[in-house]
Amino acid sequence: MSLNSRRALLRALPLALVSSLALSAPLAAQDETVTIGYAVSKSGPNATGAGITTIPNYELWVGEVNAAGGLEMPDGSRRMIEVIEYDDRSSAEDLVRAIERLATQDEVDLILPPWGTGGNLAIAPLMDRFGYPQLAVTAVTDKAPDFAARWERSFWMLGGGHDYATALVETLSAAKEAGTINDKVAMISVADGFGIDLVKAARPAFEEAGFELVYDESYPLGTSDFATILNEVQGSGADSFVAFSYPPGSFGVTKQAITAGVNPKVFYIGVGGAFPVYQKISGGAQEGVMSIGGVDAANPAIQDYFARHTETIGAPPDSWASAVTYASLEMLEEAVKRVGLDHAALAEELSTGSFETVLGEVKLEDNQLRQLWWVGQWQGDSFVAVSPADREGAAAPVIPKPEW
């Protein structure tokens, strides 16, 4: 090979690579199948969250729909689902590009959202531009109303930090009124977007409800040692310990509280408390621990969902966002059945229709799911919902929590 031709080859290589990249994607959808694409974190720091809440539910749902013969269309025909999945490597830039790829290269019929608040916000402008409805489940943000207005086909389904914090304060106020706990609260929060949202809402709410914050500190993401913090909490005289934490910190603080014998009457932790692994983490002493989320454990639809999830995935779902994720997929399925795959019609139906899901009858308000459980508590082997207390299916909170 002459030097020149080798050079030409070198120059042509990048172009050839680009075109082979384009071709390597599965060929455009055939008529009989519905292609559904998603990009989630399968490696990197977000892989853990996505692996617990998002991916198992996508797999469960796709498996079930295909086992039933496929996704039902308005004319009653069924089309099998073909999945295109990408790994976003926990990077916003890779995620954005994967969505561009799904929308313009693979031209998938539907796109399911990624895991995490950051991820859902990063793709929202693109989903809007390409016209896909976005059922953002694992995104907790107080700005959900603004976003729903900004991107008309986006749906925000997990509330905001404000909701969770004020509901917790309400629950604790009720206990304070009843005289079961004193008016002192020790509060810690993880220094990331989630922890800050919650703590910002909780501070004024606690004060308004007549609580005194005797300890209020934040700690950096990645902290694994809580011994010093717990030492101070124990000496603070607070009956209530509130940690707006993130796993694995939620687990670390639990383990160390157990061994140090820190036994506040209320023990509340953030994300991770509703995970099935929490029972193992606490060595079976989870009774009475409060956290975010919860499910109506007595509801047969939920019980059935837990059983199917356990059987198919090999582990029970978490009791916060998992059921909501699954419900969002049921909504999508039902909406497709009613109006087909046209994105505008789908978005309209999701926005205005009401749907039968594992969460019960669901109807979005201003493109947001508001029928959520804000505070839950471990009672027996279930993480049951305790707030809003007036909603059907809520359990009465057990305060004080039994000792570890």
Partner 1 sequence: MLYLGIAAVSVGGLSVLPFLLGDYGTGLLVGLAGYVTLATAWAMFSGPTRYISLATVAFFGVGAYTVAVLNEVLPYPLVLLCAAGIGATMALLVGLSTLRLAGIYFVIFSFGLAELVRQLITWFEVNVTGTLGRYIFLDLGAREIYWQLLALGVCTIGLAAWIRRSRLGLALRVIGDDETVAAHSGINLARSKLVLFVASATIITLVGAIQAPRWVYVEPSIVFNPTVSFLTVIMALLGGATRLWGPLCGAVPLFLLFEWLSARFPDHFSILLGLLFMAVVYALPNGVLAAIEGLRKPKRNGASKEATA
Partner 2 sequence: MILSTLFLGLVLGGTYALLALGLSLQYGIARIMNLAYGEFMLLACFAVFMMFTSWGIGPLWGLLVVVPLGYALGWGIHALMMRPLLKRSGGGGRLEVDTILATFGLLFVVQGLMLVSFGSDFTSYSYLDRGIALLGTTVAANRLIAFVLSLVIGFGLYAVLVRSRWGRALRAVALAPDSAYLVGIDVNRLGRQGFALGGALAAAGGALVSMFQTFSATDGVVFTMKALIVVIMGGVGNILGALIAGLLLGLAETFVAAFIDPGLTLAATYTLFLAVLLWRPTGLFGRAGG
How far is 284 from 318, CA to CA, in rounded Å? 16
Q: Read off φ and ψ for residue 157, nearest 5 degrees.
A: -120, 15
Q: Which residues contact 91 (CB under 8 A, 6 or more apart)?
A: 44
Query: CA angle, corner 359, sides to 355 and 365, nearest 5?
Result: 55
Residue 45 interacts with partner 2 (CB under 8 A): yes or no = yes
Tell me how far, at minimum, the Cβ of 185 lies from partner 2, in Å: 17
What DSSP character marks residue 80? E
Residue 219 interacts with partner 2 (CB under 8 A): yes or no = yes
Structure tokens at 36: 């559904």
Among 114, 116, 247, 273, binds partner 2 (CB under 8 A): 247
Tell me how far, at minimum, the Cβ of 78 lies from partner 1, in Å: 27
Residue 310 interacts with partner 2 (CB under 8 A): yes or no = no
Tell me how far, at minimum, the Cβ of 241 lies from partner 1, in Å: 20
Residue type at 292?
I
The one of partner 1, partner 2, none whose footprint includes residue 224, by CB under 5 to 8 A per kind, is partner 2
Residue 220: CB atoms within 10 A of its CB come to 9
Angle between helices 117-130 and 92-100 (to 10 degrees): 30
Structure tokens at 243: 């940690």
Residue 7: CB atoms within 10 A of its CB come to 11
Tell me how far, at minimum, the Cβ of 280 lies from partner 2, in Å: 6
Residue 48 interacts with partner 2 (CB under 8 A): yes or no = yes
| Residue (98 or 238) nearer to partner 1, CB | 98
In this structure, are residues 266 and 289 in contact, taking their beta carbons and an 8 Å threshold?
Answer: no
Residue ranges that bind partner 1, judged by CB under 8 A: 3, 10, 13-14, 17-18, 20-22, 24-25, 42-45, 85-94, 96-98, 100-101, 103-105, 117-118, 121-122, 124-125, 141, 143, 191-193, 195-196, 200, 218, 220-221
Residue keyed to tokens 């501070």: 203
Tell me how far, at minimum, the Cβ of 351 lies from partner 2, in Å: 33
- Tell me the window of 46-54, 301-309, 378-386, 395-403 that interacts with partner 2 (CB under 8 A): 46-54
In this structure, are residues 287 and 378 in contact, taking their beta carbons and an 8 Å threshold?
Answer: yes
Residues that bind partner 2 (CB under 8 A): 42-45, 47-48, 50-52, 188, 191, 217-220, 222-225, 227-229, 231-232, 247-248, 251-252, 255-256, 258-261, 272, 275, 277, 280-281, 283, 315
